[in-house]
Structure 1
């Protein structure tokens, strides 16, 4: 699924609604120091509409993305794979190669 960006009119309307403040914490926004965020992420079916758009400061956007969006999307992908019968590889890494090409075996104590 491709990411759907907000149109310029949607961004203008969201910025007017926010009135120069972060819609999460209320911090005053400075020029160029904010993000237009999908309330419901595109990967979870969110549309690029004004109702799904919010203006966030950098810290709030980073927190929402890392603590809410990424875990929800990962869970959705795990559930989708489980429904399709796709399992994660549970086999542990037994060895690898160094950059010079010499093999390294994993120790038994992990």
Structure 2
């Protein structure tokens, strides 16, 4: 069961922008309309990050996109894979490996193939 994404309230956004002094906290560029500000969870919301001032980062659009793509998405995907492994809910492979026991063809020692079972 997934929970709703928690956005930062207006008071926290205002305090974070004041703390950053109108600049990106990652690269230091001055934030203007068109390149931000974007408010990012330092610990991603999907990994339990709360919408607090300590967890809020003021970023420009390019830094936010880079952080999300290079750090957040892989971390969240790994956490989901680990969780599925712990509860034994890994997805079944969609196609069996040729020659394996699950494949519909069986390889003979002489090099030919025969049906493994009849449909």
Runs (4+) of structure 1 exceeding 2 A deviation are none
The answer to whether 1:83 aligns with 2:86 is yes
The TM-score normalised by the length of structure 2 is 0.74
User: Which blocks of at least 5 consecutive residues in structure 1 are unaligned?
Assistant: 94-110
Superposition RMSD on alpha carbons, in Å? 1.3
The TM-score normalised by the length of structure 1 is 0.80
Counterpart for residue 61 of structure 1: 64
Structure 1 residue 64, shift from structure 2 partner: 0.4
Q: What is the SS of the residue equivalent to 2:57? A: strand
Counterpart for residue 6 of structure 2: 4
User: Which blocks of at least 5 consecutive residues in structure 2 are unaligned?
Assistant: 97-119
Larger of the two Rg values belongs to structure: 2
Report the count of equivalent residues. Answer: 93
Flag the structure with more relative contact order, 1 or 2, with Cα contacts below 8 A and sequence separation at least 6.
1
Q: What is the SS of the residue equivalent to 1:47? A: coil
Structure 1 residue 37, shift from structure 2 partner: 0.5
Structure 1 residue 32, shift from structure 2 partner: 4.8
